[in-house]
Structure 1
């Protein structure tokens, strides 16, 4: 009997080893996903449109499908061009695709501490726990009164600038003021020095976070050692400049909270509430560092994306007057003209909701999202995904999926409304990411966008600028390049909808709001 059991055990072990070896050989023998043929050394680098790689990847999808293999120098990259594949891999197999690539540019610019770049591990989990405690769906409700207050301040700012000369500044200040309040209980001012620091850092980070630049430095790490004065080493100068301001971005707003807590004047915020949760038995140094770094990430990420999305919204209102008129007719029917909307009105304004969804769909402000990385080799529908490959989610291609969004190049909020006049199940949230890496602040961002959009549509009409003969001046929208993209400054007029609306009447309307 003992011999029999030993023999069975040995046979089982051999069988298991053989099965695993055959499985491994089978995986390795599978082809890579289809894609353009790479050239020696450079791979497909020269075939990619540098200012808008998402357009190249979308074009490739028409030839090779929704899962594409490409190589950028020495880096394997898998392009995901559809929601179906993104859900199957990044959500269905999230344990294998929740890591991030190790980009040399991230270390060089001193921004490896940001949550979005952290490796899938304990530090990342700690950051996510901090976000979840402050920004999960039920916790995000506490910020709504503040978000309405900030939206109404935006109305005051826009009324003072009818020609929209400072439109971008107004939207930047608005977006920054919300996240600074939520994260630090900090009231921003015009030309606020802290906001200026973060904006400067983010402008440099956006330029650094491109796959082609990262691939070049990853393939030739010796370039990171070039002196800043060396010809062609502008990235080194940018990196040095960025690293100079990183400590201020991380430390100064954090110290603001600690100072107010010591004085007993701190209001609720992500930082103050997180500090209060630290127990005597916790590792204080580790938690404090995580709070600093996660809060700095939240501020820098949220202010940029919210501001850019609001720019897309206003651009589309200027270009699509019938959409704007439909939205304002709904507001007039539900709200009337004697008050401003609040969150209790949201369920009664489905077309406004549809406009928000269509804004997110029409132009994802992070067209390629943040890349994922494969922890282990994998297979999908007969194709091999190599271990360590970078996975790029082409949100732009998803937004232009004609099978889901017919006439996708048109701004049509009606696509989110059923024949019975109700909202459908499509929230167009793919721009917030996937799986375990989905944006933890999406509920706060959603409320910030809705409150700003409905408030602006209630009070203003956004129109084209007219020439000396009273005719509309047409223009072709343009977009910035980089990991985050937004509309380039465009001509716009901001016209109060209500006759005789001036600053005194607007302030009265705001003050009379609950």
Structure 2
């Protein structure tokens, strides 16, 4: 009987707590949303593999601003660019904080810039990024980005069946950011530092899933379970993740320090920042910030650039007319005796439209990184409590039918005006919002463009064929997690010029220098 009363009392406590959380300390209501179940909230109604799709479906009923609860964690989801701009940009002073999720501490990723609370440490990180990656500073990396893009062409030429396509794109993306951040030249295959970041980011993506965060935040005592305890596999996963993360932070940083001591260090974010602050009294503080911000840049940029290029190639395979129109444009401006460079970019609007459509079609971070409100706020008659988790649903924005007609179609033409130029829509919502917008977006944009234009100039990406010579049709699938990208798909990579081999491609590359 006593146990029965205790259980009833616990359930009533949870219900009362959730009611208070939903009403807040104001007469204004929270934004509308689906009715939560007792204790579980809306947990069972959210697709674990693609919560962004669930949120968009709810948007059809409840609007662009939705309140949802998973266990004891409430969140407000933004489903439109209009609302995201109104809150996360125009009121960025109030929406630049981050939630404190238990998983972030547990898995050893709290140091990453994207998870830092709004404060002095975050401002120092942003200062370091601005020095290295601002629009003006990003120009210095262009020769390196073109060089890496042309190495990617050689890698793809040797893999006509696309068996190692993912590895080529990941190595390419990692090689660019490793060069910019650490002045480190990656090996063409099986680079040890690239392997570290692959392992680390795989674990971080798993650790960052909303359902896992909600469970551990609702019951933080679970984080204290010993790794051997039945059902505590997440604790063992966390220990492995911490080991990978430690290597990812320390090893490339030590590479730079060693080269600086030997006098052989080239320009990079780390070396330039260390030299700039070496005379400061709080040098240790600056060094730690440089170490942590550089590791964040390395891991985040390599993952997102690689995933976006995979989206691009998938859409070229499925939309051959798009790449044919792009190649006609490239040949009319560049010809076939050299490869495109950044000087050609303004004259290639359709290639630019392909890049924008790739970013729009499938944002590889569909829900971005959650924001948190610094203080209570009101928006269009709804109450937003202090400390509320704010989620910008980039995927829903990419499927906004009022802005993008037939949004499930891959159509670069939506960015082209009737006169053949580009419209004002840059489809950059995937880079984030306000003061938390991606500081490396200018470098990322150039990396994506240089790889895309180079591949369009040299290759055709088509469906693979079976033994009878028939196209192998497939239905695109996407990975789950905080970051999402296409699951491996069959394709064929064919040079556009007849007789193109590694020697001729190398000559073409040399003539383009």
TM-score between both structures, scaled by the size of structure 2? 0.94
SS of the equivalent of 1:277 reads helix
Equivalent residue number for residue 320 of structure 1: 319
SS in 1 for 2:418: coil
Distance in 1 (CA, whole Å) between partners of 2:440 and 2:316 is 26
Shift of 1:387: 1.1
Partner of 1:221: 220
Give the match's secondary structure for 1:70.
strand
Given that residues 365 and 484 in structure 1 are in contact (C-alpha distance below 8 angstroms), is that contact kept between their aligned partners in structure 2? yes
**Partner SS, residue 406 of structure 2:** coil
Deviation of residue 422 (structure 1)?
A: 0.5
CA contact (8 A) 2:200 2:244 kept: yes
Q: Given the alignment, which residue of 20, 38, 41 partners 1:40? A: 38
Q: Distance in 1 between matches of 2:80 and 2:245?
A: 36
Q: Which residue of 1 aligns with 2:270?
A: 271
Q: Which residue of 1 aligns with 2:7?
A: none
Shift of the alpha carbon at 1:227? 1.5
Q: Distance in 1 between matches of 2:278 and 2:250?
A: 22
Match of 2:102 among 95, 101, 104: 104
Cα distance, 1:403 vs. partner?
0.5
The answer to whether the 8 A contact 2:31-2:67 is kept is: yes
In structure 1, what is the equivalent of residue 62 of structure 2?
64
Alpha-carbon contact 1:41-1:73 (below 8 Å) kept: yes
2-structure distance, mates of 1:244, 1:228: 15
* Distance in 2 (alpha carbons) for counterparts of 1:438 and 1:100: 13
Instruction: Choose 30-39 or 231-240, whichever is displaced more.
Output: 231-240
The yes-or-no answer on 1:251 pairing with 2:250 is: yes
SS in structure 2 at match of 1:409: coil
Query: Secondary structure in 1 aligned to 2:277?
Result: coil
Aligned residue number for residue 177 of structure 2? 179
Question: Where in structure 2 are the equivalents of 1:133-148 lying within 5 Å?
Answer: 133-148=131-146
CA distance in 2, matches of 1:27, 1:414: 49
1:482 equivalent in alignment to 2:477: no
Moved over 3 A (4+): none
Offset of residue 280 of structure 1: 2.2
Instruction: Tell me the SS of whatever aligns to 2:365.
Output: coil
SS of the aligned residue for 1:79 comes to strand
Deviation at 1:231, TM superposition (A): 2.2
| Secondary structure, aligned partner of 1:360 | helix
Distance 1:490 1:408 in 2: 22
1:28 partner SS:
coil
Structure-to-structure mapping, 1:406-417, within 5 angstroms: 406-417=405-416
Classify the secondary structure of the residue corresponding to 1:78.
Answer: strand
Q: 2:4 corresponds to which residue?
A: none
1:228-260 deviations in Å (ceiling 9; x for gaps):
122221111110001122221111111111111
Is the CA contact (8 Å cut-off) linking 2:156 and 2:165 kept in structure 1? yes
Aligned to 1:261: 260
Determine if contact 2:317/2:461 at 8 Å carries over to the other structure: yes
Give distance in 2, aligned partners of 1:393 and 1:57.
10
Match of 1:191 in 2: 190
Look at both structures and tell me which one has the larger radius of gyration over its CA atoms.
1
Structure 2 Cα separation of the partners of residues 281 and 193 of structure 1? 33
Could you list the per-position Cα deviations for residues 294-348 of structure 1 after superposition, in whole angstroms to 9, with x for gaps in the alignment? 0000000000000000000000000001101100110110111100010000000
Residue equivalent to 1:6: none
Q: Is the 8 A contact 1:27 1:384 kept in 2?
A: no
CA distance in structure 1 between the partners assigned to 2:237 and 2:140 by the alignment: 39
Query: What residue number does 2:443 align with?
Result: 444
How many residue pairs match? The answer is 490
Which 5+ residue runs of structure 2 have no aligned equivalent?
Answer: 1-22
Residues 437 and 65 (structure 1), Cα distance of their counterparts in 2 relative to 1, 3 Å cut: same
Partners of 1:35 and 1:68 within 8 A in 2? yes
Pairwise CA RMSD:
1.1
Which TM-score applies when normalising by structure 1?
0.94
Q: CA deviation at 1:72?
A: 1.1
The alpha carbon displacement at 1:26 in A equals 11
Residue 424 of structure 2: SS of its match in structure 1?
A: coil
Aligned to 1:22: none
Q: Secondary structure at the match of 1:35?
A: coil
Q: CA deviation at 1:461?
A: 0.2
The equivalent of 1:395 in structure 2 is 394
Are 1:27 and 1:379, in contact at CA under 8 Å, matched by a contact in 2? no
Q: Contact conserved, 1:312 with 1:486, CA < 8 A, in 2? A: yes
Aligned match of 2:17: none
Q: Is the 8 A contact 1:154 1:170 kept in 2?
A: yes
> Which whole-Å CA distance do the structure 1 matches of 2:242 and 2:253 have between them?
18
Equivalences for residues 201-216 of structure 1 within 5 A: 201-216=200-215
Distance 2:510 2:281 in 1: 45
8 A Cα contact 1:27 1:378, kept in partner: no
Cα distance in 2 between the residues matched to 1:330 and 1:363:
24
Contact 1:75 1:389 in 2 (8 A): no
- The separation in 2 between residues aligned to 1:345 and 1:291, in whole angstroms, is 35
Match of 2:429 in 1: 430
Tell me if the contact between 1:180 and 1:187 (Cα under 8 Å) persists in the aligned partners: yes
Alpha-carbon distance in 2 for matches of 1:438, 1:400: 21
Q: What SS does the aligned partner of 2:26 have? A: helix
